[in-house]
Amino acid sequence: MDVKIKTALISVSDKSGVVDFAGKLSKMGVKIISTGGTAKKLSEAGLDVVGIESVTGFPEMMDGRVKTLHPKIHGALLGLRDKSEHKAAMDEHNIEPIDLVCVNLYPFEQTIAKSDCTLAEAIENIDIGGPSMLRSAAKNHKFLTVVTQAGQYDQVIEEMEKNNGAVGEKLRSDFARIVFGLTASYDTAIAKYLNSISGEEYPEKVSIAISKTASLRYGENPHQTAAFYKLPPSSETSTCSGTLLEGGIGISFNNLLDTNAAFELVKEFTAPAAVVVKHLNPCGCAIDDDICVSYRKAYECDVVSAFGSIIALNRKVDVELARTIMESYSRFGKALGASGFFAEVIIAPEFDADAVEIIRTLKTWGNRVRLMKTGPIDRAKIDRGEFDIRCVVGGLLLQKRDLAGWEPDVLTYPTKAKPTKSQLDDLKVAWLVAKHTKSNTIVLVKNKKVLGVGAGQMNRVESGLIAFSHADDESKGCAMASDAFFPFPDNIVNAAKAGVTAIVQPGGSKKDDEVIATADKNGIAMVFTGKRHFKH
């Protein structure tokens, strides 16, 4: 059923495009009712506007807190036009039907994002009348069109122009569906803010407001459907705040997971760093004063796994770095036994235009590689209030993000041998890579370059054997990290055989004394962090 628009109520906080929208409605003979600042803006543009007080018979009061919360408004929105009792009530109380409601809400999230926002200011930006009108109109969308954003204005006008001033059932239904997601998201932001200022980490009810960004080709596997949603914007630089550069094909579900894993690791380092990730685990990571050297070292760590990987960098991709990445296989890969090289995604703070051209014009890659620009990395802007959320069937597990990094002030040194400065540099890299690798994990590093990673094994000994096997003879003189304590000294024995000279681990095992004694016997320097980094 089409519904002709005869009367519209317009009350918007974001006034972008509203004059043009109201003007087109007015030209089609639609009566415009409006409030406060919106009414003033429309009137100043020369449009005929009926003030809300003329409809309700009451002035706006209490600094505008009360203006639309009135039976003549909500009766006009909620009345069922095909029910005689409702029509009689509307006639008796002189309630004129409203056919279109155009409302967007007070900018609560933008307000609380300001560094100097006070509680009083936040409270005043909690919209009451707006959500009430939206919900009333959406509930009765059989007879009303409800508009919530400027991006919908053209759709409404186009439909009205095609249908002699009427809006069809499909569009009304779609817009109504959007309303309840919008108001739920709005209330979620308010609840999150009030919980945060009260210090309540895990409140009785938790709602998560996310907005659809893209439909994806499929999920982890082709038989699974998938879509990409984002949380409300924060000041933290992340994969979700990044922008895909033009020219690449669409990003996939697995790409996004892996890109996030790679970028979160590279964010740990202030020095020029490069990370290569495959299936959520680092297969390469290196630090150097020169970002091109960092990348080359990271790639060399595991050239076989690097095929189809994600490359994350914490420096701009310029022409020199682009060429280094593009030449990885021809210059280094063949010599190291790789059968080829291709990266699914390259993520970095910035890309020079000439660098993008170099990547895009490589025949074998072309637009297959996705380039994601994030902007500058600022660890001071990390969102410490965000939950790390895991799904279980029928529920969610919430925890605070693991933001513990390398903390020199809390390290302890239980062995006779103490790490040198260069060993500490390697231990730091190994520890941070272990933090971002699936448990159980062992990571080997030398000269700030990852040599081997044992990830996701059911026992720590097996993880160590995988890492030692991959590093081979390079492990002599290397540093080793374990994401959790050693329950037995067997890993230390294997590390000594491989030539490991320094180890970092949380400590805290019942057999710490045996583990330390084994390290002392083999001249290995050991560092305790006091924190573990399980990553399931």
pTM of the model: 0.85
Q: Do 522 and 496 meet the contact criterion of CB atoms below 8 Å apart?
A: yes
What is the share, in percent, of the chain residues with pLDDT greater than 90?
76
Instruction: Quote the pLDDT of residue 247.
Output: 77
The torsion angles phi and psi of 160, rounded to 5 degrees, stand at -65, -40
- Which residue ranges form the domains of the chain, and what is each CATH number? 3-198 (3.40.50.1380), 213-378 (3.40.140.20), 409-528 (3.40.140.20)
Q: What is the pLDDT of residues 111-149, one digit of tens each?
A: 998 889 999 999 999 989 899 999 999 999 999 999 999
Assess whether the previous peptide bond of 440 is cis (omega < 30° from 0): yes
> For the chain, how big is the Rg over CA atoms in Å?
30
> Helix, strand or coil for residue 274?
strand
* Long-range contacts at 265-271 (CB < 8 A, ≥ 24 apart): 265/312, 265/432, 265/433, 265/435, 265/436, 266/312, 266/313, 266/314, 267/237, 267/314, 267/377, 267/379, 268/405, 268/406, 268/432, 268/435, 268/436, 269/314, 269/429, 269/432, 270/314, 270/379
Residues serving a catalytic function are 139, 279
How many residues comprise the chain?
A: 536
Instruction: Quote the pLDDT of residue 175.
Output: 96
DSSP H helices, 50-145, are 52-56, 71-78, 84-92, 108-112, 119-124, 129-139
Buried b (16+ CB within 10 A) or exposed e, 95-123: beebbbbbbbbbebbebbeeeeeeeeebe
Pairing of strands 211-216, 226-230: antiparallel
Residue 62's pLDDT band, with cuts at 50, 70 and 90, is: confident
Q: What is the pLDDT of residues 346-389, one digit of tens each?
A: 999 999 999 999 999 876 787 889 999 999 999 888 988 888 99
Q: What is the pLDDT of residues 286-336, one digit of tens each?
A: 999 999 999 999 999 999 999 999 999 999 999 999 999 988 756 655 555
Token readout for 25 is: 């409605």
Instruction: Quote the pLDDT of residue 61.
Output: 67
Residue type at position 315: R
Distance from C-alpha of 465 to C-alpha of 506, rounded to nearest angstrom: 20
Query: What's the start-to-end Cα distance of the chain, in Å?
Result: 52
Does residue 337 have a pLDDT over 70?
Answer: no
Distance from C-alpha of 269 to C-alpha of 428, rounded to nearest angstrom: 10
Q: Do 314 and 273 meet the contact criterion of CB atoms below 8 Å apart?
A: yes
